[in-house]
Amino acid sequence: MLTEPTAALIIIGNEILSGRTRDANIQFLASGLGLLGIPLREVRVVPDIEEEIISALNILRNKFTYVFTTGGIGPTHDDITADSVAKAFGVTLKRHQPSVDKMERYYGDSLNAARLKMAHLPDGAEPIETRATSAPGFKIENVYVMAGVPSIAQAMFDEIAPSLTHGAPVLSRFVEAHLGEGDIADDLTAIQNEYPHVDVGSYPFFRSKRVGLSVVAKSTNQNDIDAVIKKTVAAIQRLGHTACVDQEVDD
């Protein structure tokens, strides 16, 4: 029996931990990987500290099928991801001449030593090249190192996605109603126990001064998802509320 592929994400950067920059990469990676049947099982945010990056990388690359990193591959002094990844694998950085050539065409006379830093990859790594930037990301074994800028990270992911081992796509449906979690908690527990292979999530919201609840069912089996949604709707209706399936409740 083949094991379903799994993934982890390491977000690298002091600016994320300080709150100065809001990360936008988790959502698109989780969604994109889910469509490929590669559930994102863990996310870590680490500072621009070499030993922290190396530690997280060595733990996660031995735990999951794939590890993705975002951030820290730019031209400045705090962009230390490439060097840290190289040390985690026990190799040195090497100048990747095709990337240098590409950057020379893009930057012309503006290409300096700082920018050339982005063309140095760990020995044995394969570049991840896109039209979004002349500077590459890279792949080494099961680790994929991508830019932190969301548009570039997205482009890099789109490039590598076809090469990943796919699993069964993760499907989902949801139902919403104006009721509290405590009202339906026992019903959801029973439904979850009946369908252990479906991820049944409960997410409260507050809209237009009204409390509500969104119940999301995720699985690789559409029939099981439909059954969970049907039972959740029935539970909501027994409590005297209106259930809105796959749409937001009216304010």
Domains and CATH numbers, the chain: 7-163 (3.40.980.10), 171-245 (3.30.70.260)
- Supply the pLDDT for residue 243: 94
Angstrom distance (rounded) from CA 126 to CA 242:
54
SS3 at position 81: helix
Q: How many CA atoms lie within 13 A of 205 on its CB side?
A: 15
Q: Cβ distance 157 to 170 under 8 Å?
A: no
* DSSP-derived pairing of the beta strands 66-70 and 7-12: parallel
pTM exceeds 0.85 for this model: yes
3-state helix, strand, coil in the chain (%, to 5): 40, 25, 30
DSSP code at position 5: P
- Supply the pLDDT for residue 3: 76
Angstrom distance (rounded) from CA 50 to CA 53:
5
pLDDT, one tens digit for every residue, the chain (251 residues): 357 899 999 999 999 999 988 899 999 999 999 999 999 999 999 999 999 999 999 999 999 999 999 999 999 999 999 999 999 999 999 999 999 999 999 999 999 999 999 999 999 999 999 989 999 999 999 999 999 999 999 999 999 999 999 998 889 999 999 999 999 999 999 999 999 999 999 999 998 889 999 999 999 899 999 999 999 999 999 999 999 999 887 76
Q: H or E stretch including 165?
A: none
- Supply the pLDDT for residue 1: 39
SS3 at position 158: helix
